[in-house]
Structures are given as structure tokens and as C-alpha cells.
Structure 1
Amino acid sequence: SPPPLGTMNETDPLESASSALIQIPLCALAALYSALMVAFLGYAFARKPRLREQWRYVLFSVLSLSQGVYFVARLVQVCLSFFQKAATCLDCAALFMIQRTATMAEMTALTAMSVDRYLAICWPLRYGAIFTSLKIWHLMAGFCFCSAITPSSIFIVRVCFLAKRGLLWRTIPCSKNAFNQLGVSGTVSVSLESVQFGLYVLIIFASYFLVLKEGVSSRSVSLENARARRTILLHMVHLGFYLLPVPTYLIASSLHRNKVISTAAFSNTINVSFYSFTLAQIICPVIYSLRSDQLRPIL
């Protein structure tokens, strides 16, 4: 049988009280900032009648919107931990699904923007044919599917596992550590997410090198080609900040288990990686806007 509620001690540094005191206002401000960015991009969207420009603003908006949803969901989780409030396993699984969907939507938006630049440079005629009102809806449907398929699959697997053991309505601290103690393995979720993340990374890198190849083969690199490569390169930097907490956590936890670093050093390392991730999420939309000829005057 699963351990009683009181024995589920939090071991994640991001769940500690000292970290929560910083995360709560940070996540709240980041969510508010994301909402303002979505409103700004919505205003820019209304000013641009051309579908191809509207599609780019949709991707920009999804980027900021997904960040806002993630920070709100993270804020709820941190508040539950800080105020020592329990939630049902179903509620926690749904909260984690929302976080995963938001992060996957951001990754999908980054990938779509990179592919958009590749098509605009390497296939300009086909690129123009894509943007009809009907095909835009097809693109949006495909975008939603790619963003939701992995998180919803993980959610269904977890709900079936918890329901089979009669734990669906059990109240627990809403943390990954509590799920692990209930026997909910994270191996399946990590594997599914890794496959999709890896695919997105390959697509972004392939887009960059195909655009580079097009410029080299034409023997005269156009301004549009150079600009597209800089844009995709910025997506790569964003991707690096986005994935930074994962290797940081794996390396730091391994060193901590082998007693190479102290618990305090382990906690500080994990906290710093999360804060740098949050800062990157805030800065990147502004950089995108400042680089856009259409958005810069509005901003």
C-alpha cells in the first residue's frame, strides 16, 4: 500500500520553503508579463491583414501564452507546497499535464518558426501557396495536435495506473516526489518527452543548415537568407536556455548522490538553473519583437 501522507517529505530543492518565497512572486510577475506580451501581439495581429504575417504573430502569441500558462500552473504547484495543501492525485496529474502541454506548445512554436523561415527562403513559391484561410486552420489543428499528444498520453497512462490501484482520489502533496512514492514511474513520461524534444531539436538544426546550404549554393548570400539564419540561431539559443535545467539537474543530482557536492550546493545549483530559465523566457519574446521590422515600431 502507498505510504501515508505525512511520510512524503519533499526532496526537490525547487519545493523548499526558501525557494518558494522567491518562486511565488517570480512566477506571478512572469505570468503577468506573458499576458501583456499576448495583448501586445494581439494588437499587432489586428493591424496586419496578410495571412502569412498573421501566422507569425500567432506563433509569437502562442510562445508567450504557453509561457504564461506554464508559470500560472507552476505558481499553483508552488503555493500548494508552500502552504502545505494537499490535492487529489487526479488534480495533480491534471496540473502536471497543463505544465507539460504549455512547455510542449512552446517547443512546437519554436520549431514552427524555424520551419517557417526555411520555407520562406528555400521554397518561396510554395510558401506563398500555404497561406490560404483553409490551410491556416489545418496548420493550427496540426500545431494543437503536436502540442497536446505527448502530455495527454502521459496523463491518460497516469490516470489509468492510479485508477487501477484505487489512488485516483487520494490526497497527496502535489509534487513529482509524491507521485514517485506512490509508484507512478516517470520513465514513460521522460521517454515520450525526450523523443518529441529530440525530434524538435533535429528539425530546428536541420532548418538552419538547409537555409545555410541554400545561401552557399546560390554563391551570394541574400539579406533575407542571413536574417533567416540569425532568426533560427536565436531559436537555438532559446532552446539551449529552455533545456538547460535538465542536464543541470541530472549532473547536480549525480554529484549530490556521490557526495561530491553538499546539499546546500545542490539546492543552489538547481535554483539558479530555474531562475536562468525563467529569465530567458522573459527576455526572448522582447528580443524577437525588437528584431521584427513590423513589431519594432509598435513596441
Structure 2
Amino acid sequence: MEENATILSGFILVGFTEMHQFHFLIFAVLLSLYMITLMTNTMIILIVKSDPVLNTPMYFFLMHLAFLEACYMSVIIPKLLENLMVKPNVISFLGCAVQMFLFLFFGVAECFLLAAMAVDRYVAICCPLRYTTIMSRNICWKMVTGSYICGTVVGLVHTTVTFRLPFCGVFINHFFCEVQPLLELVCGNTFQNELQVIGIALMAIMLPFLLIILSYIGIIFTIIRMPVLQSRYKAFSTCSSHLIVVVLFYGTASSMYLKPKSSYSPPVDKLLSFSYTVVTPLLNPIIYSLRNKEIQASLRKVVHIVVKIVIPL
């Protein structure tokens, strides 16, 4: 009777039960990482918005990436923090569906936004004389809007199809409502659903990744042909931060979604999910701010202004 009531009301997130003795430590670490990530991404948004020097397509995309990272992490971490302290770890049927949709929406939008950033770097390095014409404000907005639309479509399709399936269990062996762990609870043969997951993942992950690869092939050939070594270094340095972020994000996400359910391993996949839901959003603003002189200069301006206000001469 109790299990039937649970089935009707929602699911139980197993989370990190194998490390239950460390839950307080995990809670403290996660809360700290979450606050740092929110602050750093918010800082990037405010810096880009406030400094006219950063009014370029590259920083326009970076601002939206920071926004996506903050939202992406906020879909997962608050509920995880609650579940670490409250038992049982129940999430309602609707709450699970909303969490899955938002997670997919922000994740897929980030995939396509990273592709847009690669195209921006390609145009800046390979077509510098036409850069301002090609990467106009209108085009930049269309690319960002297209990223959000792709995220919406993939999120709606995945969530609608998944939650129309019959579930034969309530225990999700994961720390949030992700597609692969939920398929473990579906009654009967899920082969078609696995194909759907992999098919959509190929479109949502590999299509923008292919665009990134093609953009960087063009960038590499252009850099090789540059006669001055300093020009080569400057061109590559503008792309290195983006490349690191792409490897971090796509490496973990593709290893989770581009595989059949039979190879699903809860401990390994929890670690992979933790990487792209917690570690990557934390590292991205650090990578961009530490490796970017313009961001550093703008940050110093902001700090100087704040210090003058707080400690007037």
C-alpha cells in the first residue's frame, strides 16, 4: 500500500547512499561549490554587461554561457542538498519531469552555444576583415535564440516520451532525474527508448560537436599559414579556453548518453554526471577569467570601484 502511494506521488532518489557516513561533508562541500559557482558566473555576467570594452560577440556568448551554467547547476544542486539532509529522498512525479526537462534544456542549449562560440572564433580568425559584418548583433541573438530553441525541443521530446512510459519501480539509482537511470525503471523492453535517447543525443551532442570540429580545422589551417609567430600565439590563445571547456563538457556528457542501457553503471555514471553538473560549471568561469586578460582588467576595475565606495579616501 505504501509503495503504491509512493508510485502515485513520485520517485525516491537513491543518491549517494553508499557514502551515507559522509553526507554532512558532501553537503558542506557541495554547498560551498554551488555558492562559488553562482558568484563567479554572476560576476562574469555583471562584468560583461557593465564594461563597454567587452561589448563584442565573444563576450556576448560568454555571458550567456555563464547564465546557462548557473541555471544548469541550480536545477540539480538545491534538490541534492535537500536530499542529503532529509529522508526519504522523495521527488514528485511532476517535480521529476520538470527537473529532467530543465536539465536537458540548459544542457542542450549549452551544447549549441559552445558551437556558436566556435563559429565566432572561426570568423574572427579566418575572416577578420568581415568579422563585424558577419557576427552582427542580430546574428548573435539568432544564434543564442537557436540554442535555446534546440534545448526546448530536445527537453520536451525526451521528457514527454519518457514520462508516458509505464514505470515498475520507484527507486532512481541516481542523485537527480536523468534519462538513463529512469529507463532502468521502465517495464518491459526499452530497446526503442534507448535508440531514441542515443538518436537525440547524437543530434544534440554530436551535431554541434561536429560544427566545433569543422570550425577548429579551419582555425588550425589559418593559424599555420600565419607568417608571424606572435600572431599564431595570440590566435590560439583566444581559442584555448573555449577548447578546454568543450573537452570537459562534451567528454563527460557523450560518455553518459552515447551508450546502451546495458552498459549503465550507477557508481561510474554518478561520477560522470557529477562532473558535468558540478565540476564543469565551477571550472568554466575560472578557466575564462584566469586565461583572459580583458576579463581580468575589467575585474580589477570593478574591484577598484568597490574599494573606493567601501573605503572612501
Per-residue deviation, residues 42-72 of structure 1 (Å, max 9, x unmatched): 332234436x834323322222222222222
**Deviation, structure 1 residue 122:** 0.9
- Structure 1 residue matching 2:52: 3-state secondary structure: coil
Quote the Cα distance in structure 2 between the aligned partners of 1:26 and 1:180. 29
TM-score (norm 1): 0.73
Q: Does 1:287 align with 2:287?
A: yes
Q: Is the 8 A contact 2:115 2:211 kept in 1?
A: yes
Tell me which residue corresponds to 2:74. 72
| Contact 2:120-2:135 within 8 A present in 1 as well | no
Distance in 1 (alpha carbons) for counterparts of 2:13 and 2:94: 22
Q: Is 1:240 paired with 2:247? A: yes
Percent of pairs with identical residues: 18
The answer for unaligned runs of 5 or more in structure 2 is: 300-313
How far residue 33 of structure 1 moved from its aligned partner, in angstroms, is 2.3
Look up the SS of the partner of 1:112 in the other structure. helix
1:144 aligns with 2:148: yes
- Per the TM alignment, residue 11 of structure 1 is displaced from its structure 2 partner at its CA by 9.4
Alignment match of 2:42 (pick from 19, 24, 39)? 39
> Residue in 2 aligned with 1:298?
298
Aligned counterparts of 2:252 and 2:263: Cα–Cα separation in 1: 16
Query: Where does structure 1 lack aligned partners over 5 or more consecutive residues?
Result: 257-265
Partner of 2:116: 112
Closer/same/farther in 2, CA of residues 139 and 54 from structure 1, 3 Å limit: same
- State the AA in 1 paired with 2:55: E
Say if 2:113 and 2:144, in contact at 8 Å, map to a contact too. no
- The counterpart of 1:203, out of the listed 211, 218, 242, is 211
Change (3 A) 1:74 1:60: same
| Residue identity opposite 1:36 in structure 2 | M
The answer as to whether partners of 1:38 and 1:64 remain within 8 angstroms in 2 is: yes
Summarize the Cα distance change of 1:110–1:26 in structure 2 as closer, same or farther, 3 Å threshold. farther
Specify the SS of the correspondent of 1:199. helix
Counterpart position of 1:94: 98
For 2:13 and 2:77, the matched residues in 1 are separated by: 18
State the superposition RMSD in angstroms.
3.9
Q: Which whole-Å CA distance do the structure 2 matches of 1:64 and 1:228 have between them?
A: 23
2:246 alignment partner AA: L
Quick one: distance in 2 between partners of 1:99 and 1:240?
A: 19
Return the offset for 1:41: 2.1
2:91 match: secondary structure: strand
Q: Is the 8 A contact 2:61 2:144 kept in 1?
A: no
1:228 corresponds, among 229, 235, 250, to 235
Q: State the shift of 1:254 in Å.
A: 4.6
Amino acid at match of 2:118: S
> Which secondary structure does the structure 2 equivalent of 1:244 belong to?
helix
Distance 1:172 1:247, change over 3 A: closer
Matched letter for residue 239 of structure 1: V
Task: Describe the superposition over 1:127-171 as per-residue Cα deviations: whole angstroms up to 9, x where unpaired.
Answer: 211354444433332232233332222123335x25xx6x8xx98
Shift in CA distance, 70/140, structure 1 to aligned 2, threshold 3 Å: closer
Q: Would the aligned equivalents of 2:13 and 2:90 in 1 still touch at CA under 8 Å?
A: no
CA distance in 2, matches of 1:17, 1:5: 28
Q: How far does residue 192 in structure 1 lie from its aligned partner after superposition?
A: 0.3
* Residues 30 and 68, structure 1, Cα contact 8 Å, conserved in 2: no
Distance 2:211 2:33 in 1: 28
Shift of 1:229: 2.9
Q: Which stretch shows the higher mean deviation, 110-119 or 134-143? A: 134-143
Deviations 1:246-279 (A, max 9, x none): 538979x8597xxxxxxxxx73x55555555533
- Relative to structure 1, is the Cα distance of residues 225 and 10 closer, same or farther in structure 2, using a 3 angstrom cutoff? farther
Structure 1 residues 294, 16: closer, same or farther in 2, change over 3 A? same
Distance in 2 between residues matched to 1:94 and 1:23, nearest whole Å:
25
User: Normalised by the size of structure 2, how large is the TM-score?
Assistant: 0.70
Displacement after TM superposition at 1:231 (Å)? 4.0
Letter matched to residue 210 of structure 1: G
In 2 relative to 1, CA 22–195 (structure 1 residues): closer, same or farther, beyond 3 Å? farther
- 1:200 partner letter: P
The separation in 2 between residues aligned to 1:11 and 1:133, in whole angstroms, is: 43
Q: Which amino acid aligns with 2:112?
A: T
